[in-house]
Structure 1
Amino acid sequence: MEQHLWVAALVLASVHTLAWAAELGPEQSEAKFHGIVLYSQHKAISAEPYLKIAAEAGDREAQYYLGETIRFNKRYMTEEAEKWYTAAANQGDYYAMYQLSGKGSDLCNAMGNCPAGTKTAGEWLLQGRETAKALADKGDAEAMYVLHFLTNKDEWLEKSVAAGYPRGQWYLAVMYREGMGFFLLPWKRSEKIRDLFQRSAEGGYPKAMLEYAGELQDRGDLDQARYWLRKGAETGYTTTFGEYAVSFSIPGNPWGIPTDYVRSYGLMSLLLELDGGGNSRNFAQGELPRIAEHLSPEQIEEAKKIGTEWKATHPPLSYFPDKLGF
């Protein structure tokens, strides 16, 4: 049970507790946890029934993710998705308010036939700003990050970064890399990007760990590069995990990881579970036959045990999708 809670904490690292949340029983909590894991693996169809158990019990977090799941499955904002976003928003969830603020043209409002009490997209946007602003004023770095998207003002992203929000630090680094901002000296941009990735990685954000590992590799610091690559793989982030796993089967790989075909096969096999979308499963299917050429049947059995042990002692694999739905 202790390990289970540790795994849940890692997978749900981006979750922010706001206002009142329903008290879930053990089965409802397990369903919520399993639903969010499936969602993070792009298995939205499978996630829906699990999330619904906790959402119907009144859990704000599950309500938000259920709305996300339904919207993802249908590819647009359905009435059912809006219902669950609204339930979460009514409990103070500013992520849900953000999603509702972009729900479309408010057709019912234009036609004058909205259900009583229904807010317009504009009203949800205003409420989202007010809700997040109240928390940001108290020093909440995550609320500052979301305010950046609710207001389109870069100052809130910068404040979030200054307050130490790892996801915000990673995001700003990516924006700088894509050309945002002005730097008088070109190398100052590179220095700032590297610093932000480092701070985000040290703050525990999985995607930043891979970026920082790459920065260290480019600088020739392979010991630290390998450290951050492994640390990122241990979070379950699929891209980092795949890079770490396959490197054991590539002699002379750029990370300086020693060749170990047994370990590589065992870890790469775990990517086969990611059959809900993304490229990880296809990547594994392409690499495993090559790795298997170096192994005996006995070694493949040994490799499977390595995979089983990793799965039992590490968080579930995850694409770590942005909670805002990007």
Structure 2
Amino acid sequence: MLKMKNAVCIALSTLFFSFVAQAEVSTQQVKAKEKGIELYNQFKAISAVPYLKAAAEGGDREAQYYLGEALRKNNKYITPEAQSAYEASARQGDIYAMIRLSQRNNDLCVEMNNCSGEKKSPNEWSKSALEAATKEAEKGDAEAMYLMYRITGDDKWFEKSADGGFALAQYYLAADYREGKGFFLTPSKRAEMVERWMKASAEGGNPQGMLAYAAIQGRKKDWEQFRSWNEKAAMTGYVSAVYGYGSYLAGQSPEYGFKEDLVTAYASISWVLELDGGGGMREFAQDELPEIAAKMTGEQIEKSKKTLTEWKATRPPLSFFPDKL
């Protein structure tokens, strides 16, 4: 009996520690995925690869897709490793990965004559993407409706996605109207529609929509709304907004009514210095930061550094918010 009890205890202990180990691995993979996507969104695709690989090996389909993207961007074409990552993601139902695999006819590797062997043709992946997106769109998924537009080019899906509340589609639809797409009886009607969709996108959390809606309010001389939406966009970590908000607080464009706050301005511009992967914003920050520092005391600069440390622990990471496709 004692031996049996000991055997049961050992078995339970083994099972318990197995669960703990699995939980730790899962947690590590989640953190790796988050860090990988963070770096990717900062245009640091090379640095993102090791983190995304760690998460992708655990079977996370989104990490697999982003791994494919990072490898593709690093090499300028879909390498065999990138294709494998896309395929692993697509087999788990990721529509973005299916779409990317369907686009291989235009891949640079075709010109270079070094494409990997096909397991499924681009046309077959296109059909799979259409089937998967249609299924989700029929359930009312607004993001899937946007993907239907990307797959088919049919504007009705673009509009349905915007109507369904997908903030990115709302932003792009407003931008298209702003650039002349669609028919409107008068310029004022066009402007009303642009403002309607930019507002919807901003309220839906899209930082690009926030800045665009802020600009609309600025043209209307509604500086309170202009300032409010610029600040909200900066709080998302959107690089352009963080830099712009810092510049306004440093005294740039005083006609907009921002109250000078050199501590916050210095923290904002300092944060942008971390973006050494691309995007060009780091160079702007390098030029502007000394000008702000010249107006500050040593105590203010130290306070600003502490502020930035707090932000990094509590706010979303910096991001260029690139289109997932």
TM-score (norm 2): 0.88
The answer as to whether partners of 1:173 and 1:197 remain within 8 angstroms in 2 is yes
Q: 1:256 to 1:114 in 2, by over 3 A?
A: closer
The answer as to whether partners of 1:71 and 1:78 remain within 8 angstroms in 2 is yes
**Deviation per residue, 1:295-325 (Å, 9 max, x gap):** 122222122112222222211010011101x
Aligned equivalents of 1:274 and 1:252: distance in 2?
Answer: 25
Secondary structure at the counterpart of residue 254 of structure 2 = coil
Corresponding position of 2:123: 122
Aligned equivalents of 1:61 and 1:188: distance in 2?
Answer: 40
Q: 1:99 to 1:251 in 2, by over 3 A?
A: closer
Q: Which amino acid aligns with 2:323?
A: D
**Deviation per residue, 1:173-210 (Å, 9 max, x gap):** 11112221111211111110111000111111111111
Aligned equivalents of 1:279 and 1:184: distance in 2?
Answer: 40
The answer as to whether partners of 1:251 and 1:259 remain within 8 angstroms in 2 is no
| Structure 1 unpaired stretches of 5+ | 1-21
Q: 1:114 to 1:309 in 2, by over 3 A?
A: closer
Aligned equivalents of 2:162 and 2:77: distance in 1?
Answer: 31
Bigger radius of gyration:
2
**Residue 26 in 1 paired to residue 3 in 2?**
no
Corresponding position of 1:320: 321
The answer as to whether partners of 1:245 and 1:264 remain within 8 angstroms in 2 is yes
Corresponding position of 1:153: 154
Aligned equivalents of 1:29 and 1:182: distance in 2?
Answer: 46
Q: Which amino acid aligns with 1:205?
A: N
When the two chains are superposed, the root-mean-square deviation of aligned CA atoms in Å is: 2.0
User: Counterparts in 2 of 1:232-271, with a 5 A limit?
Assistant: 232-250=233-251, 252-271=253-272
Give aligned pairs, total: 299
Q: Which has the higher contact order (CA 8 A, sep 6+)?
A: 1
Aligned equivalents of 2:285 and 2:202: distance in 1?
Answer: 26
**Deviation per residue, 1:8-51 (Å, 9 max, x gap):** xxxxxxxxxxxxxx996111111011101010111101100000
| Structure 2 unpaired stretches of 5+ | 1-21
The answer as to whether partners of 2:79 and 2:116 remain within 8 angstroms in 1 is no
Q: 1:121 to 1:254 in 2, by over 3 A?
A: farther
Corresponding position of 2:143: 142
TM-score (norm 1): 0.87
**Deviation per residue, 1:132-186 (Å, 9 max, x gap):** 0011011110000011010011110011011111111001111112221111211
Corresponding position of 2:82: 81
**Deviation per residue, 1:33-79 (Å, 9 max, x gap):** 11010101111011000000110111100000000000011111111
Corresponding position of 2:11: none
**Deviation per residue, 1:93-135 (Å, 9 max, x gap):** 1101111111126999xx9x985x7111111111101110011
Q: Which amino acid aligns with 1:72?
A: K
Corresponding position of 1:175: 176
Secondary structure at the counterpart of residue 104 of structure 1 = helix
Aligned equivalents of 1:34 and 1:63: distance in 2?
Answer: 14
The answer as to whether partners of 1:251 and 1:258 remain within 8 angstroms in 2 is no
**Residue 204 in 1 paired to residue 205 in 2?**
yes
Aligned equivalents of 1:72 and 1:254: distance in 2?
Answer: 41
Aligned equivalents of 1:100 and 1:282: distance in 2?
Answer: 35
Q: Answer 1 or 2: which has greater helix percent.
A: 2
Aligned equivalents of 1:84 and 1:185: distance in 2?
Answer: 49
User: Counterparts in 2 of 1:17-96, with a 5 A limit?
Assistant: 25-96=26-97
